[in-house]
Homo-oligomer: A and B are copies of this chain.
Protein backbone atom coordinates (compact mmCIF):
# COMPACT_ATOMS: atom_id res chain seq x y z
CA UNK A 1 0.00 0.00 0.00
CA UNK A 2 1.19 3.47 -0.87
CA UNK A 3 1.13 4.71 2.74
CA UNK A 4 4.06 2.45 3.56
CA UNK A 5 6.16 4.07 0.86
CA UNK A 6 5.35 7.50 2.28
CA UNK A 7 6.28 6.38 5.80
CA UNK A 8 9.59 4.94 4.59
CA UNK A 9 10.41 8.14 2.79
CA UNK A 10 9.64 10.08 5.98
CA UNK A 11 12.08 7.86 7.88
CA UNK A 12 14.78 8.28 5.23
CA UNK A 13 14.35 12.03 4.87
CA UNK A 14 14.25 12.82 8.61
CA UNK A 15 17.73 14.47 8.70
CA UNK A 16 16.76 16.90 5.91
CA UNK A 17 13.42 17.58 7.59
CA UNK A 18 15.25 18.45 10.82
CA UNK A 19 17.60 20.78 8.95
CA UNK A 20 14.60 22.61 7.51
CA UNK A 21 13.07 22.99 10.95
CA UNK A 22 16.34 24.34 12.35
CA UNK A 23 16.36 26.92 9.55
CA UNK A 24 12.92 28.10 10.52
CA UNK A 25 13.80 28.13 14.24
CA UNK A 26 16.70 30.51 13.55
CA UNK A 27 14.21 33.25 12.66
CA UNK A 28 13.32 35.05 15.94
CA UNK A 29 9.65 35.63 15.15
CA UNK A 30 8.49 36.96 18.54
CA UNK A 31 5.12 38.43 17.67
CA UNK A 32 4.40 40.36 20.83
CA UNK A 33 7.49 42.57 20.59
CA UNK A 34 7.54 45.16 17.79
CA UNK A 35 11.35 44.91 17.70
CA UNK A 36 10.89 41.55 15.95
CA UNK A 37 8.44 42.67 13.26
CA UNK A 38 10.91 42.07 10.45
CA UNK A 39 11.65 38.58 11.78
CA UNK A 40 7.97 37.68 11.81
CA UNK A 41 7.81 38.79 8.21
CA UNK A 42 10.89 36.70 7.40
CA UNK A 43 9.35 33.59 8.98
CA UNK A 44 6.21 34.10 6.89
CA UNK A 45 8.31 34.50 3.75
CA UNK A 46 10.26 31.32 4.58
CA UNK A 47 7.01 29.35 4.78
CA UNK A 48 5.61 30.87 1.58
CA UNK A 49 8.72 29.77 -0.29
CA UNK A 50 8.66 26.29 1.24
CA UNK A 51 4.99 25.67 0.45
CA UNK A 52 5.35 26.99 -3.09
CA UNK A 53 8.20 24.53 -3.59
CA UNK A 54 5.65 21.76 -2.90
CA UNK A 55 3.35 23.05 -5.63
CA UNK A 56 1.02 24.69 -3.13
CA UNK A 57 0.14 28.16 -4.39
CA UNK A 58 0.98 30.25 -1.37
CA UNK A 59 1.09 33.94 -0.58
CA UNK A 60 1.91 36.22 2.31
CA UNK A 61 -1.32 38.06 3.04
CA UNK A 62 -0.98 41.40 4.79
CA UNK A 63 -2.95 42.25 7.93
CA UNK A 64 -2.74 45.25 10.28
CA UNK A 65 -0.33 43.05 12.28
CA UNK A 66 1.86 40.19 11.13
CA UNK A 67 1.04 38.55 7.79
CA UNK A 68 -1.01 35.39 7.31
CA UNK A 69 0.45 32.65 5.12
CA UNK A 70 -2.29 31.19 2.94
CA UNK A 71 -1.80 28.42 0.36
CA UNK A 72 -4.08 26.27 -1.73
CA UNK A 73 -3.75 23.16 -3.81
CA UNK A 74 -6.58 21.53 -5.75
CA UNK A 75 -7.47 17.86 -5.41
CA UNK A 76 -10.33 15.48 -4.70
CA UNK A 77 -12.58 15.84 -1.66
CA UNK A 78 -12.45 16.16 1.27
CA UNK A 79 -11.17 19.73 1.55
CA UNK A 80 -8.80 19.78 4.51
CA UNK A 81 -7.40 22.96 6.02
CA UNK A 82 -4.21 22.96 8.08
CA UNK A 83 -3.61 25.60 10.75
CA UNK A 84 -0.41 26.35 12.69
CA UNK A 85 1.40 29.47 13.84
CA UNK A 86 4.88 30.64 12.93
CA UNK A 87 5.25 33.19 15.73
CA UNK A 88 6.87 32.35 19.08
CA UNK A 89 6.86 33.52 22.68
CA UNK A 90 9.37 36.05 24.05
CA UNK A 91 12.53 34.48 25.48
CA UNK A 92 13.07 36.30 28.76
CA UNK A 93 14.48 35.54 31.26
CA UNK A 94 17.30 35.07 28.79
CA UNK A 95 19.85 34.18 31.45
CA UNK A 96 18.00 30.95 32.22
CA UNK A 97 18.62 29.61 28.70
CA UNK A 98 21.61 27.33 28.34
CA UNK A 99 22.05 28.45 24.74
CA UNK A 100 20.89 31.20 22.41
CA UNK A 101 17.13 30.51 21.99
CA UNK A 102 17.46 31.24 18.27
CA UNK A 103 20.54 29.14 17.63
CA UNK A 104 18.74 25.78 17.81
CA UNK A 105 20.65 22.60 18.55
CA UNK A 106 20.08 18.86 18.36
CA UNK A 107 20.86 17.53 21.83
CA UNK A 108 21.14 14.07 23.34
CA UNK A 109 19.42 13.95 26.72
CA UNK A 110 18.68 11.15 29.16
CA UNK A 111 15.14 11.12 27.81
CA UNK A 112 16.20 10.96 24.16
CA UNK A 113 17.22 13.30 21.35
CA UNK A 114 15.63 16.72 21.32
CA UNK A 115 15.53 19.81 19.16
CA UNK A 116 16.27 22.73 21.50
CA UNK A 117 15.26 26.32 20.79
CA UNK A 118 12.39 28.82 21.04
CA UNK A 119 9.47 27.61 18.94
CA UNK A 120 10.78 24.06 18.53
CA UNK A 121 7.58 22.75 20.08
CA UNK A 122 5.28 25.80 20.05
CA UNK A 123 4.58 25.85 17.23
CA UNK A 124 7.18 25.72 14.46
CA UNK A 125 8.16 22.08 15.09
CA UNK A 126 4.52 21.06 15.19
CA UNK A 127 3.48 22.92 12.05
CA UNK A 128 6.42 21.44 10.15
CA UNK A 129 5.20 17.89 10.98
CA UNK A 130 2.27 18.44 8.64
CA UNK A 131 4.29 20.17 5.94
CA UNK A 132 6.89 17.37 6.01
CA UNK A 133 4.12 14.76 5.73
CA UNK A 134 2.85 16.57 2.65
CA UNK A 135 6.36 16.80 1.23
CA UNK A 136 6.88 13.04 1.55
CA UNK A 137 3.43 12.31 0.13
CA UNK A 138 4.04 14.56 -2.85
CA UNK A 139 7.49 13.08 -3.47
CA UNK A 140 6.11 9.56 -3.42
CA UNK A 141 2.85 10.15 -5.34
CA UNK A 142 3.50 13.24 -7.43
CA UNK A 143 0.52 14.99 -5.93
CA UNK A 144 -1.23 15.52 -2.63
CA UNK A 145 -4.14 13.26 -1.67
CA UNK A 146 -6.94 15.85 -1.54
CA UNK A 147 -7.81 19.47 -1.80
CA UNK A 148 -5.73 21.30 0.83
CA UNK A 149 -5.63 24.80 2.29
CA UNK A 150 -2.77 26.01 4.47
CA UNK A 151 -3.49 28.79 6.92
CA UNK A 152 -0.53 29.82 9.05
CA UNK A 153 -0.78 32.67 11.53
CA UNK A 154 1.88 35.00 13.00
CA UNK A 155 0.04 36.46 15.98
CA UNK A 156 -1.03 33.46 18.04
CA UNK A 157 1.29 34.31 20.92
CA UNK A 158 0.09 37.91 21.03
CA UNK A 159 -3.69 37.47 21.14
CA UNK A 160 -4.37 36.99 17.39
CA UNK A 161 -5.76 40.50 16.85
CA UNK A 162 -5.95 40.10 13.04
CA UNK A 163 -7.34 36.58 12.97
CA UNK A 164 -11.08 37.06 13.27
CA UNK A 165 -11.27 39.98 10.82
CA UNK A 166 -9.18 37.98 8.34
CA UNK A 167 -11.31 34.85 8.72
CA UNK A 168 -14.51 36.84 8.30
CA UNK A 169 -13.21 38.67 5.24
CA UNK A 170 -11.95 35.47 3.62
CA UNK A 171 -14.56 33.05 4.91
CA UNK A 172 -15.38 31.59 1.53
CA UNK A 173 -11.74 30.97 0.69
CA UNK A 174 -11.01 29.34 4.05
CA UNK A 175 -14.17 27.30 4.31
CA UNK A 176 -13.35 23.57 4.33
CA UNK A 177 -14.59 20.23 5.64
CA UNK A 178 -12.18 19.77 8.50
CA UNK A 179 -9.60 22.12 9.99
CA UNK A 180 -6.54 20.23 11.24
CA UNK A 181 -4.89 22.22 14.01
CA UNK A 182 -1.45 21.21 15.26
CA UNK A 183 -0.74 23.15 18.47
CA UNK A 184 -1.47 20.62 21.24
CA UNK A 185 0.30 17.70 22.86
CA UNK A 186 0.36 14.03 23.64
CA UNK A 187 -1.54 13.04 26.76
CA UNK A 188 1.00 12.62 29.56
CA UNK A 189 3.80 12.71 26.99
CA UNK A 190 3.01 9.25 25.64
CA UNK A 191 -0.59 8.79 24.49
CA UNK A 192 -1.67 10.34 21.18
CA UNK A 193 -4.63 12.60 21.72
CA UNK A 194 -7.31 14.57 19.94
CA UNK A 195 -8.28 17.59 22.01
CA UNK A 196 -12.01 18.15 22.15
CA UNK A 197 -12.26 20.63 25.01
CA UNK A 198 -10.32 23.87 25.08
CA UNK A 199 -10.36 26.65 27.64
CA UNK A 200 -11.01 30.20 26.53
CA UNK A 201 -8.78 33.12 27.52
CA UNK A 202 -9.35 36.62 28.78
CA UNK A 203 -6.27 38.82 29.21
CA UNK A 204 -6.31 42.04 31.19
CA UNK A 205 -3.58 44.52 32.01
CA UNK A 206 -4.32 46.84 34.90
CA UNK A 207 -2.53 50.01 35.94
CA UNK A 208 -3.30 51.51 39.34
CA UNK A 209 -2.21 55.09 39.94
CA UNK A 210 -2.04 56.72 43.35
CA UNK A 211 0.14 59.79 43.90
CA UNK A 212 0.90 61.71 40.70
CA UNK A 213 4.65 61.26 41.17
CA UNK A 214 6.96 58.78 42.88
CA UNK A 215 7.29 59.82 46.51
CA UNK A 216 9.87 59.41 49.25
CA UNK A 217 8.54 56.78 51.63
CA UNK A 218 10.09 58.59 54.58
CA UNK A 219 8.29 61.80 53.86
CA UNK A 220 5.00 60.32 52.67
CA UNK A 221 5.02 56.74 53.93
CA UNK A 222 2.03 56.12 56.19
CA UNK A 223 -0.01 59.06 54.97
CA UNK A 224 0.01 58.58 51.18
CA UNK A 225 -1.74 55.63 49.54
CA UNK A 226 0.68 53.10 48.03
CA UNK A 227 -0.63 51.64 44.74
CA UNK A 228 1.50 48.51 45.21
CA UNK A 229 -0.43 47.76 48.38
CA UNK A 230 -3.72 48.43 46.62
CA UNK A 231 -2.76 46.14 43.73
CA UNK A 232 -1.65 43.38 46.10
CA UNK A 233 -4.92 43.59 47.98
CA UNK A 234 -6.91 43.32 44.76
CA UNK A 235 -4.91 40.36 43.48
CA UNK A 236 -5.13 38.62 46.85
CA UNK A 237 -8.92 39.07 46.79
CA UNK A 238 -9.35 37.37 43.40
CA UNK A 239 -9.32 33.92 45.06
CA UNK A 240 -10.91 32.77 48.28
CA UNK A 241 -9.32 30.38 50.78
CA UNK A 242 -10.53 27.38 48.82
CA UNK A 243 -9.03 28.54 45.54
CA UNK A 244 -12.35 29.70 44.07
CA UNK A 245 -12.33 32.84 41.98
CA UNK A 246 -14.30 35.68 43.54
CA UNK A 247 -15.15 37.81 40.50
CA UNK A 248 -18.96 38.20 40.70
CA UNK A 249 -20.80 35.83 38.38
CA UNK A 250 -17.53 34.17 37.34
CA UNK A 251 -18.89 30.63 37.53
CA UNK A 252 -22.00 31.38 35.46
CA UNK A 253 -21.94 28.97 32.53
CA UNK A 254 -19.32 26.66 34.01
CA UNK A 255 -20.66 23.12 33.38
CA UNK A 256 -20.14 20.08 35.54
CA UNK A 257 -18.41 17.15 33.84
CA UNK A 258 -20.77 14.65 32.25
CA UNK A 259 -20.73 11.22 33.92
CA UNK A 260 -19.37 9.79 30.69
CA UNK A 261 -16.48 12.26 30.51
CA UNK A 262 -15.75 11.82 34.20
CA UNK A 263 -15.54 8.07 33.70
CA UNK A 264 -13.24 8.43 30.68
CA UNK A 265 -10.95 10.84 32.57
CA UNK A 266 -10.77 8.52 35.55
CA UNK A 267 -9.69 5.84 33.07
CA UNK A 268 -6.78 8.05 32.00
CA UNK A 269 -5.31 7.77 35.51
CA UNK A 270 -3.64 11.17 35.34
CA UNK A 271 -0.49 11.15 37.46
CA UNK A 272 -0.58 14.60 39.03
CA UNK A 273 2.28 13.75 41.38
CA UNK A 274 4.62 13.36 38.44
CA UNK A 275 3.06 16.22 36.51
CA UNK A 276 3.70 18.60 39.41
CA UNK A 277 6.88 16.89 40.54
CA UNK A 278 8.49 17.65 37.16
CA UNK A 279 8.34 21.35 38.00
CA UNK A 280 9.29 21.10 41.66
CA UNK A 281 5.78 21.12 43.13
CA UNK A 282 3.62 18.64 45.01
CA UNK A 283 0.25 20.21 45.93
CA UNK A 284 -2.57 20.87 43.45
CA UNK A 285 -3.18 24.57 44.11
CA UNK A 286 -6.58 25.14 42.50
CA UNK A 287 -10.14 24.69 43.80
CA UNK A 288 -9.66 22.30 46.65
CA UNK A 289 -12.80 20.27 45.92
CA UNK A 290 -11.70 19.43 42.35
CA UNK A 291 -9.36 16.82 40.92
CA UNK A 292 -6.07 17.97 39.40
CA UNK A 293 -7.29 16.98 35.92
CA UNK A 294 -10.39 19.11 36.35
CA UNK A 295 -8.18 21.99 37.52
CA UNK A 296 -6.26 22.02 34.25
CA UNK A 297 -8.90 20.86 31.75
CA UNK A 298 -12.41 21.69 32.79
CA UNK A 299 -12.29 24.36 35.49
CA UNK A 300 -11.75 28.08 34.89
CA UNK A 301 -8.72 29.82 36.37
CA UNK A 302 -7.37 33.24 37.16
CA UNK A 303 -3.62 33.79 37.07
CA UNK A 304 -1.30 36.73 37.51
CA UNK A 305 1.17 36.57 34.63
CA UNK A 306 3.20 39.59 35.59
CA UNK A 307 3.35 42.33 38.19
CA UNK A 308 5.60 45.33 38.51
CA UNK A 309 5.98 48.73 40.12
CA UNK A 310 8.38 50.85 42.19
CA UNK A 311 12.11 50.24 42.40
CA UNK A 312 13.15 46.82 41.15
CA UNK A 313 16.88 47.26 40.57
CA UNK A 314 19.84 46.30 42.71
CA UNK A 315 20.01 47.71 46.20
CA UNK A 316 17.20 49.56 47.86
CA UNK A 317 15.27 52.72 47.12
CA UNK A 318 12.71 53.94 49.62
CA UNK A 319 10.30 55.07 46.98
CA UNK A 320 6.53 55.12 47.37
CA UNK A 321 5.68 54.64 43.71
CA UNK A 322 3.03 56.42 41.71
CA UNK A 323 1.99 53.31 39.78
CA UNK A 324 1.46 49.58 40.13
CA UNK A 325 0.77 47.29 37.19
CA UNK A 326 -0.21 43.68 36.55
CA UNK A 327 -1.10 41.35 33.73
CA UNK A 328 -3.89 39.00 34.71
CA UNK A 329 -5.48 36.25 32.65
CA UNK A 330 -8.52 34.07 33.02
CA UNK A 331 -8.91 30.60 31.46
CA UNK A 332 -12.56 30.04 30.65
CA UNK A 333 -14.67 26.93 30.16
CA UNK A 334 -18.16 25.95 29.03
CA UNK A 335 -20.38 28.92 28.32
CA UNK A 336 -18.51 31.51 30.38
CA UNK A 337 -18.79 34.80 28.53
CA UNK A 338 -15.42 36.57 28.39
CA UNK A 339 -16.97 39.99 27.83
CA UNK A 340 -19.28 39.69 30.84
CA UNK A 341 -16.38 38.47 32.97
CA UNK A 342 -14.23 41.35 31.76
CA UNK A 343 -16.93 43.81 32.84
CA UNK A 344 -17.40 42.12 36.21
CA UNK A 345 -13.65 41.94 36.82
CA UNK A 346 -13.20 45.61 36.02
CA UNK A 347 -16.15 46.56 38.22
CA UNK A 348 -14.71 44.50 41.08
CA UNK A 349 -11.33 46.21 40.75
CA UNK A 350 -12.98 49.64 40.68
CA UNK A 351 -15.04 48.74 43.75
CA UNK A 352 -11.91 47.82 45.69
CA UNK A 353 -10.09 50.99 44.70
CA UNK A 354 -9.57 53.64 47.40
CA UNK A 355 -10.89 57.10 46.54
CA UNK A 356 -7.40 58.40 45.88
CA UNK A 357 -6.49 55.81 43.25
CA UNK A 358 -7.32 55.52 39.59
CA UNK A 359 -7.22 52.43 37.43
CA UNK A 360 -6.92 51.90 33.71
CA UNK A 361 -7.39 48.64 31.86
CA UNK A 362 -5.98 47.29 28.63
CA UNK A 363 -7.57 44.20 27.13
CA UNK A 364 -5.35 41.47 25.69
CA UNK A 365 -7.80 39.14 23.96
CA UNK A 366 -11.09 37.57 25.01
CA UNK A 367 -12.13 34.17 23.68
CA UNK A 368 -14.74 31.66 24.76
CA UNK A 369 -13.98 28.06 25.55
CA UNK A 370 -14.79 25.55 22.84
CA UNK A 371 -15.85 21.94 22.70
CA UNK A 372 -15.64 19.88 19.55
CA UNK A 373 -18.31 17.49 18.37
CA UNK A 374 -16.62 14.19 17.53
CA UNK A 375 -19.58 12.64 15.73
CA UNK A 376 -18.02 13.17 12.29
CA UNK A 377 -16.53 9.79 11.22
CA UNK A 378 -13.26 11.55 10.44
CA UNK A 379 -12.57 11.64 14.17
CA UNK A 380 -12.70 7.90 14.60
CA UNK A 381 -10.59 7.49 11.44
CA UNK A 382 -7.97 9.90 12.72
CA UNK A 383 -8.02 8.28 16.15
CA UNK A 384 -7.34 4.89 14.59
CA UNK A 385 -4.49 6.34 12.50
CA UNK A 386 -2.89 7.82 15.62
CA UNK A 387 -3.33 4.59 17.55
CA UNK A 388 -1.63 2.65 14.73
CA UNK A 389 1.37 4.98 14.72
CA UNK A 390 1.91 5.18 18.49
CA UNK A 391 0.86 1.58 19.32
CA UNK A 392 -1.37 3.01 22.09
CA UNK A 393 -5.10 3.77 21.82
CA UNK A 394 -5.45 7.48 21.15
CA UNK A 395 -7.66 9.50 23.53
CA UNK A 396 -10.14 12.34 23.33
CA UNK A 397 -8.92 14.80 25.94
CA UNK A 398 -9.32 18.29 27.34
CA UNK A 399 -6.62 20.93 27.24
CA UNK A 400 -5.87 23.63 29.77
CA UNK A 401 -4.49 25.99 27.16
CA UNK A 402 -6.53 28.27 24.99
CA UNK A 403 -6.53 27.84 21.21
CA UNK A 404 -9.19 30.33 20.24
CA UNK A 405 -8.78 29.40 16.58
CA UNK A 406 -10.72 26.17 17.22
CA UNK A 407 -13.78 28.15 18.25
CA UNK A 408 -13.36 30.56 15.37
CA UNK A 409 -13.35 27.74 12.78
CA UNK A 410 -16.57 26.47 14.29
CA UNK A 411 -18.30 29.83 14.73
CA UNK A 412 -17.09 31.85 11.75
CA UNK A 413 -16.53 29.21 9.08
CA UNK A 414 -18.78 26.39 10.26
CA UNK A 415 -15.76 24.11 9.87
CA UNK A 416 -15.13 21.30 12.36
CA UNK A 417 -11.72 21.73 14.03
CA UNK A 418 -9.62 18.65 14.77
CA UNK A 419 -6.78 19.30 17.23
CA UNK A 420 -3.89 16.86 16.99
CA UNK A 421 -0.40 17.53 18.28
CA UNK A 422 2.70 15.84 19.55
CA UNK A 423 4.13 18.14 22.24
CA UNK A 424 5.19 16.68 25.59
CA UNK A 425 4.57 18.07 29.06
CA UNK A 426 8.26 18.77 29.57
CA UNK A 427 8.72 20.71 26.33
CA UNK A 428 9.02 23.95 28.36
CA UNK A 429 6.92 25.92 25.92
CA UNK A 430 6.78 29.60 26.96
CA UNK A 431 9.79 28.86 29.21
CA UNK A 432 13.56 28.89 28.89
CA UNK A 433 15.17 25.93 27.09
CA UNK A 434 12.08 24.99 25.07
CA UNK A 435 12.56 21.71 23.21
CA UNK A 436 10.72 19.27 20.94
CA UNK A 437 11.55 15.60 21.03
CA UNK A 438 12.84 14.18 17.77
CA UNK A 439 10.38 11.36 18.49
CA UNK A 440 7.53 13.89 18.51
CA UNK A 441 8.75 15.37 15.25
CA UNK A 442 9.37 12.08 13.48
CA UNK A 443 6.28 10.21 14.64
CA UNK A 444 4.29 13.44 14.25
CA UNK A 445 5.14 13.55 10.55
CA UNK A 446 4.27 9.85 10.23
CA UNK A 447 1.01 10.44 12.13
CA UNK A 448 -0.10 13.10 9.67
CA UNK A 449 0.71 10.84 6.73
CA UNK A 450 -1.48 8.16 8.30
CA UNK A 451 -4.26 10.69 9.02
CA UNK A 452 -4.11 12.01 5.44
CA UNK A 453 -4.44 8.45 4.20
CA UNK A 454 -7.27 7.70 6.62
CA UNK A 455 -9.28 10.81 5.73
CA UNK A 456 -8.87 10.44 1.95
CA UNK A 457 -9.62 6.81 1.29
Q: Which residues of A contact B (CB under 8 A)?
A: 31-34, 89-90, 92-93, 96, 157-159, 199, 201, 203, 205, 210-226, 228-229, 231-233, 235-239, 272, 275-276, 279-287, 292, 295-296, 299-301, 303-321, 324-327, 329, 331, 354-356, 364-365, 399-402, 425, 428-432
- Are A310 and B305 within 8 A (Cβ)? yes
- Are B305 and A217 within 8 A (Cβ)? yes
Nearest-neighbour CB distance to chain B for A424, whole angstroms, equals 11
Beyond known contacts A92-B313, A218-B402, A305-B320: 16 more, CB 8 A cutoff: A201-B318, A210-B281, A213-B279, A216-B401, A217-B329, A220-B400, A221-B303, A223-B276, A225-B281, A225-B283, A232-B233, A232-B235, A283-B354, A283-B356, A307-B324, A316-B365
- Are A285 and B356 within 8 A (Cβ)? yes
Most buried by B among A224, A228, A301, A429: A224
Tell whether A279 pairs with B220 under 8 Å between CB atoms, given A305-B316, A316-B158, A321-B306: yes
Listed by A's residue number, 15 A-B pairs whose Cβ atoms lie within 8 Å are A31-B315, A32-B313, A32-B315, A34-B314, A96-B213, A157-B317, A205-B316, A212-B280, A218-B399, A222-B286, A222-B303, A226-B304, A305-B317, A307-B307, A308-B309
> Roughly how many angstroms separate A210 CA and B235 CA in the complex, as a whole number?
17
> Roughly how many angstroms separate A311 CA and B32 CA in the complex, as a whole number?
12
Tell whether A305 pairs with B319 under 8 Å between CB atoms, given A232-B235, A296-B219, A431-B215: yes
> Roughly how many angstroms separate A311 CA and B329 CA in the complex, as a whole number?
12
Contact of A304 among B228, B280, B354, B365 (CB under 8 A): B228
Identify the closest chain B residue to A280 (Cβ).
B212
Contact of A331 among B222, B304, B324 (CB under 8 A): B222
- Are B309 and A310 within 8 A (Cβ)? no
Nearest-neighbour CB distance to chain B for A306, whole angstroms, equals 4
> Roughly how many angstroms separate A219 CA and B428 CA in the complex, as a whole number?
10
- Are B314 and A33 within 8 A (Cβ)? yes
- Are A229 and B365 within 8 A (Cβ)? no
Residues of B within 8 A of A300 (CB): 222
Tell whether A32 pairs with B292 under 8 Å between CB atoms, given A232-B236, A235-B229, A305-B321: no
Most buried by B among A158, A220, A354, A425: A220
Residues of B within 8 A of A228 (CB): 235, 304-307, 326
Residues of B within 8 A of A279 (CB): 211-213, 215, 220, 224
- Are A295 and B222 within 8 A (Cβ)? yes
Identify the closest chain B residue to A199 (Cβ).
B218
- Are A213 and B432 within 8 A (Cβ)? yes
- Are B400 and A219 within 8 A (Cβ)? yes
Nearest-neighbour CB distance to chain B for A419, whole angstroms, equals 13
> Roughly how many angstroms separate A248 CA and B284 CA in the complex, as a whole number?
30
Nearest-neighbour CB distance to chain B for A80, whole angstroms, equals 26
> Roughly how many angstroms separate A30 CA and B287 CA in the complex, as a whole number?
47
Tell whether A221 pairs with B281 under 8 Å between CB atoms, given A216-B430, A316-B32, A319-B430: no
Identify the closest chain B residue to A245 (Cβ).
B222
Tell whether A310 pairs with B307 under 8 Å between CB atoms, given A199-B218, A223-B285, A281-B211: yes
Residues of B within 8 A of A327 (CB): 310-312, 316-317
Nearest-neighbour CB distance to chain B for A356, whole angstroms, equals 5
> Roughly how many angstroms separate A299 CA and B92 CA in the complex, as a whole number?
41
> Roughly how many angstroms separate A303 CA and B309 CA in the complex, as a whole number?
13
Tell whether A400 pairs with B311 under 8 Å between CB atoms, given A285-B226, A306-B321: no
Residues of B within 8 A of A310 (CB): 304-307, 327
